[in-house]
């Protein structure tokens, strides 16, 4: 089960936000990762990153001991945590935030993330649902680090494939 949730809100303190997110994840028995929505190109981007991270754990090729951090690395198309955080991590202040919520390795329960979990997440972090933040465009790709030259070689309807390639390339650069 993988749920991708677009929101907007304000993060006053990054460290406090991360600690609260870890505590919430643990309480709900879920893996939750937050991203700067301005660098996320749709739900498929994060579903692919989560799927790749899950496979890495299953095959013992994970680069971190944290499923949430492994998802972050794949979503960023990076192998270094600091680079990934700088590239797609949430920032201090008012912003658009995308969350991945997953049961990750717990295949026995295959927990469905119900409305009550989502409502608690939104309330805990004082966020508002905003699915529009999941719509990526050329600017999103450029923020991700994809050049105009790369974009000039593909039609606009294939832009999402470029992100999926970057996610998949993490396996190659390990």
Domain limits of the chain?
A: 2-172
The correct answer on CATH 3.40.190.10 for the domain covering 2-172 is: no
pLDDT at 152 over 80: yes
pLDDT at 106: 58
Tally of CA atoms within 13 A in the half-sphere of 154 that contains its CB = 16
- Per-residue tokens: 63: 């680069």
- Residue-wise pLDDT for 96-132, tens only, equals 999 999 987 655 544 556 788 899 999 999 999 999 9
Q: Rounded to the nearest 5°, which phi and psi values hold at 13? A: -145, 120
Q: What whole-number distance in Å separates Cα of residue 64 and Cα of residue 100?
A: 17
Q: How far is CA 100 from CA 65, 149, 156, 172, 173, in A?
A: 18, 30, 25, 23, 23
**Cα dihedral 138→41→76→69 (10° resolution):** 160
- Residue-wise pLDDT for 80-92, tens only, equals 999 999 999 999 9
pLDDT at 95 over 70: yes
């Amino acid at each position: 089960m993988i749920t991708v949730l677009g929101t907007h809100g304000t993060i006053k303190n990054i460290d406090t936000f991360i600690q609260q997110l870890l505590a919430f994840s643990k309480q709900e028995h879920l893996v939750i990762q937050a991203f700067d929505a301005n660098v996320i190109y749709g739900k498929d981007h994060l579903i692919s990153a989560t799927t790749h991270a899950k496979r890495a754990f299953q095959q013992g090729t994970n680069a971190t001991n944290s499923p949430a951090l492994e998802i972050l690395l794949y979503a960023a198309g990076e192998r270094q945590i600091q680079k990934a955080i700088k590239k797609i991590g949430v920032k201090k202040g008012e912003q658009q935030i995308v969350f991945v919520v997953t049961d990750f390795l717990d295949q026995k329960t295959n927990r469905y993330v119900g409305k009550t979990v989502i409502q608690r997440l939104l309330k805990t972090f004082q966020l508002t649902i905003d699915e529009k933040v999941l719509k990526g465009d050329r600017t999103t790709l450029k923020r991700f680090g994809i050049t105009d030259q790369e974009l000039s070689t593909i039609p606009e309807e294939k832009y999402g494939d470029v992100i999926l390639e970057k996610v998949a390339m993490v396996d190659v650069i390990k």
